[in-house]
Amino acid sequence: MSVTRNEQDSMGTMRVPAAALYGAQTARAQENFPISGLLFPRPFLRALGMIKEHAAQVNRELGLLEQRQAMAIMDAAEEMVIGDLDDHFPLDIFQTGSGTSTNMNANEVIANRACQLLGEDLGNRSVHPNDHVNYGQSSNDVIPTTMHLAAAVEIKQSLLPALGELCKVLGEKARQFDDIVTIGRTHLQDATPIRLGQVFGGYFRQVSLVINELERTLDGLCELPLGGTAVGTGLNTHPEFAQRVIAGLAEVTGLPLREAKDHFAAQAGKEQVVAASGALKTSAVALFKIANDIRFLASGPRCGLGELQLPAVQPGSSIMPGKVNPVMAESLMQVCAQVIGNDATITLGGLAGNFELNVMMPVMTYNLLQSIELLTNAVEQFNVRCLHGLEANRQRCEALIEESLAMCTALAPVIGYDRAAAIAKQAHATGQTVREVALAEQVLPEEELGRLLDPRPMTEPGIPGKTR
């Protein structure tokens, strides 16, 4: 049998592993919630450690904690920040909706580690999880603050740089492909000519817009509920506590963090989290479209569209030798589907603001941080392993243009819609090109016909044969 020790809480005694830094409340939660095996991720634990560290510092400055206790708490919390204590956070995300179990997990771990640093036995409570580590705090303001802080840091430091790099490469491809004219498509059918650079310029703009949306929601996440304690009134916390702690967090993260204007709204409602998830969903929708387009444009290599050539990153089949699949696009698309599903859970979680507290914060937190991480990683890999090596098949693009029945669109302003449609129908029926039918029918002089059917001018505004 493993060696254990006794730990106390307000309900009595619990046995915990002798080497564990957590205490009785964490042990009770372990017994209550063996649900999924899904744990709070590293960004959340890092943010929670930061809050505990700065809380101890401010409470020391306010004369509310003794110097020796506060310094030990700060040292222990810093170990939590850098990840040294992660093994002592075993709790499932499907737990109490306030996240109280995990807040107490942190309080117990930091308190016991502080006792160790002071040369004292685990569980002796010379540094107390509630009276000292949690001083001036409640799970009801700490957990939503941690949720906001962790998500804001990850969006700012990870996702936005990844999307920015993607945007840069899409812009480079737009310039590289700008002289290549290909066929546009609407309803999956041939449409009028378009430059491949214009296509990638559209992708560039889509990503630029989702970056702007994420930056707007980032501002909302930077408003923190800390200081409201149990229901938003701030009972049992110093009036300067939240402002000082948040100022310290802002300094170390570089984020424009600020105290909530209304603590009752900040703790009862989770609209900023729902909005952030919505921006992640919007990002996923745009990225899915881009990845799917590139996947189709690269289909082939001989019997598909074949306008793009993907870099080969791995064999595509266990049975078909030489086959190469669009695996990076498929990976990104699957991530986008997961992010959209996560948003549904977060939206439902946002509905669970019952009176003065939302009670689905752990699962909202997990899904939000997972969406950020998945998008960051998938975008980085798609960028490096797909977009960087992406090439255009110029010959294929030019061949498709000439074969397209939509070329007759440029004839319509000169010869009329009905006559142009008849030419398109005849070309389709005979397998000829629009140019070949129009020449045979002598609808226009050859020189004028050549000018009207030049695809490059069709990619700019104007009326063929009338204005340019």
Q: What is the pLDDT of residues 41-57, one digit of tens each?
A: 999 999 999 999 999 99
Strand 258-259, strand 308-309: pairing: unpaired
Give backbone dihedrals phi and psi of 162, rounded to 5 degrees, phi first. Answer: -65, -45
Q: What is the pLDDT of residues 237-281, one digit of tens each?
A: 999 999 999 999 999 999 999 999 999 999 999 999 999 999 999
Using the 8-state DSSP alphabet, how is residue 32 labeled?
A: H
Give the domains, in start order, of the chain with CATH numbers.
4-135 (1.10.275.10), 141-393 (1.20.200.10), 404-459 (1.10.40.30)
For residues 192 and 409, is the Cβ–Cβ distance under 8 A? Answer: yes
For residues 305 and 297, is the Cβ–Cβ distance under 8 A? Answer: yes
DSSP, collapsed to helix, strand or coil, labels residue 282 as helix
Residue 301, preceding peptide bond in cis (omega within 30° of 0): yes
d(CA 442, CA 251): 75
d(CA 282, CA 289): 11
Give the dihedral sign, CA 295/298/304/305: positive
Of 88, 128, 208, 317, catalytic: 317
Of 2, 10, 187, 318, catalytic: 187
- The reply to whether 317 belongs to the active site is yes
Q: Is the pLDDT of residue 395 over 80?
A: yes
The model's pTM is 0.96
Q: Where are the beta strands (DSSP E) in 418-461?
A: none
Average pLDDT over the chain, rounded to an integer? 96
Q: What is the pLDDT of residues 113-137, one digit of tens each?
A: 999 999 999 999 999 999 999 999 9
Least confident of 5-9, 59-63, 80-84, 138-142: 5-9
Confidence band for 1, pLDDT divided at 50, 70 and 90 = very low
d(CA 405, CA 420): 10
- The reply to whether 187 belongs to the active site is yes
For residues 328 and 381, is the Cβ–Cβ distance under 8 A? Answer: yes
- Position 284 scores a pLDDT of 98
Q: What is the pLDDT of residues 150-195, one digit of tens each?
A: 999 999 999 999 999 999 999 999 999 999 999 999 999 999 999 9
Q: Across residues 402-420, what is the average pLDDT?
A: 93
- Position 467 scores a pLDDT of 64
Q: Across residues 58-86, what is the average pLDDT?
A: 98
